[in-house]
Amino acid sequence: MKIAKDSVVAFHHKMTDEKGEVVESSLGEEPSSFLFGHKNMIETLEHSMSGKEMGDKYSITLQPDMAYGRLNLKNRLRVSKKSIGQEGKLEPGMVVPLKTVEGTRPVTVAKVGKFNVDIDFNHPLAGKTLTFDIEIMEVREATFEELKQGKPLPKITH
C-alpha cells in the first residue's frame, strides 16, 4: 500500500543537524506513527512520504523555513522565575517548561537573573537545517476511530 491521505504511517527516523550530530532518533525504539494528510508533523516531511511504501528508505534535508522556521530574535521575553516549571538551578541553554495561558510550552533559557529569566520561545530547532533519514515500517488504512480522532490509536499489547 502506498502512503496517501488517511493512511497510518509508522516510520523510523534519525534527525541530524548541520554538523551531522544526531538531534533525535527512533532507532532502537518503537517507530513514530501518524495519520497522513492531517497536518500532524512538519508539512514538508509529511509531503516527502507521499507515495512511499513499507520498506522504503530515503533522506531529506530541510532548510529552516521548511522545518521549524527561522530564528526570530524578537521571540525573547523576560519572565518571573516563578513562571518556569523547573526545579533546581536554571542555566542558559536549558530547555524548560513555561506556564502560559494556552498551557505549558518548552522554551530555552537565554539569561538568568536573581528574580527573572530571559527566555527564547523560538522552537529549539528554529534556524537549523535538518536532515532526516527515514525508513517506512508500516502503511495501512486508518480506522474510522482514528479518522475521527485525527491520529493513530495506540497499539494494545498484552
Question: What does the pLDDT look like over 74-117, one tens digit per residue?
Answer: 989 898 888 786 778 889 988 888 777 888 888 889 999 988 99
Q: Say which CATH topology domain 76-120 has.
A: Thrombin, subunit H (2.40.10)
Fold of 7-68+126-149: Chitinase A; domain 3 (3.10.50)
Residue 156: the pLDDT is 54
Percent of the chain with pLDDT over 90: 65
pLDDT for res 100 = 78
Q: Over the stretch 13-44, which tens digit does the pLDDT of each residue have? A: 999 999 999 999 999 999 999 999 998 899 99
Boundaries of every domain in the chain: 7-68+126-149, 76-120
pLDDT of 158 > 70? The answer is no
Whether the CB-CB separation of 49 and 60 falls below 8 Å is answered with: no
